[in-house]
Amino acid sequence: MRPARNLLILLALGAVPIALPVLAQPSADYPPPCDASRVTKADIDRAHTVFLSGKQYLEESNYDKAISYFKDAYSIDCSVHAMLPIIATAYERKGDKSEAVRALEEYTKRAPNAPDHDVIERRIRNLKDQLAREQAAASASAPAPTASAPAPPQPAPTASAEAAATASTPTPTPAATTSTAGGHSVLPWILVGVGGAAAVTGVVLFAVGSPDLSNAEKACPGRVCPSQSALNEGNNARNLVNAGGGLIGGGVAVAAAGLLWHFLEKTDQGAPGETQTSTHISPVIVPGYAGIAVGTAL
């Protein structure tokens, strides 16, 4: 198993961060791509250590630190282009959709034959649609300047008019507090997010192991291998393919159970005239990570 593929597997087993958008970070150029044969074992180990530090910061919602460490890891081992979607995920969690799109587009250029190419293209389209809607909403909410003519002078109010105005002015009362009515629970969407993350991880493992398994089967006709290393490589590849298939099946089952739970769950209706507030969770799945964006909708 080549070292670069081992690092890709480690990227696929990342944690599940919670999305809390903050201010955008200035863009920075990415290192030029390089071939895996030019990366030493020491560089691979060092890049893995830096990546784990960035993953820890991502779990703590420290997006600036996470992005910095992920870019450093990619600079050390610039053959692992799968780091770019993870950098895009950190930017997206941070709220910088433009930089997330830039990282994903760079990934499609550097890894045009990646197995997750269609998923990345959909992410790019969705982010661009969100940016367009945000820009349109900002333009619509901007107040247009209007010219107003000076008001004509008004006569000074008399004492009787002031008394009448005071008597007719209602006493201000505190605004009514908006109550929160019952709705769908959060747990079904958590299942959907976890199941989706497991399925995506299974796809990555299956995609990594399949080529090696095919090569091993060619090198070992009739399962008779010419060397122990060829036998070990074939066994490792088969383990990856089996693990990937299990994660895909289990993840899809868990996600389907979450959706079924959500649609079959009964919700409480609020009293007439009562504003209902429901908490929603939108699962966001990317290769190696699965995020859950929590918000409140009226």
pLDDT score at 177: 39
Q: Which pLDDT does position 264 carry in this prediction? A: 79
Q: pLDDT tens per residue, the chain (298 residues)?
A: 455 555 555 555 543 343 333 333 444 579 998 888 889 999 999 999 999 999 999 999 999 999 999 999 999 999 999 999 999 999 999 999 999 999 999 999 999 999 999 999 999 999 999 999 999 998 888 776 665 555 556 655 555 455 444 444 444 444 443 444 456 677 877 877 888 888 888 888 788 878 887 887 777 877 777 777 777 887 887 888 788 788 898 878 888 887 887 777 765 554 454 444 443 334 434 443 334 333 333 3
So what's the pLDDT on residue 292? 36
What's residue 208's pLDDT? Answer: 82
Q: Are strands 18-19 and 278-286 parallel, antiparallel or unpaired?
A: unpaired
pLDDT score recorded for residue 148? 57
Q: What's the distance, Cα to Cα, between the start and end of the chain in Å?
A: 52
Q: What pLDDT was estimated at residue 205?
A: 79
Please, which residues have CB within 8 angstroms of residue 290's CB and are 6 or more apart in sequence?
16, 193, 194, 196, 197, 200, 283, 284
User: What is the length of the chain?
Assistant: 298
Q: Where are the domains of the chain?
A: 1-134, 182-298
pLDDT of res. 229: 78
Q: Cα 261–264–268 angle (5° rounding)?
A: 110
pLDDT value, residue 9 = 54
DSSP characters for 16-52? -PEE---------PPPPP--GGGS-HHHHHHHHHHHH
Looking at domain 1-134, what is its CATH homologous superfamily? Tetratricopeptide repeat domain (1.25.40.10)
Full-model pTM: 0.41
How confident is the model at residue 206, as a pLDDT?
Answer: 81
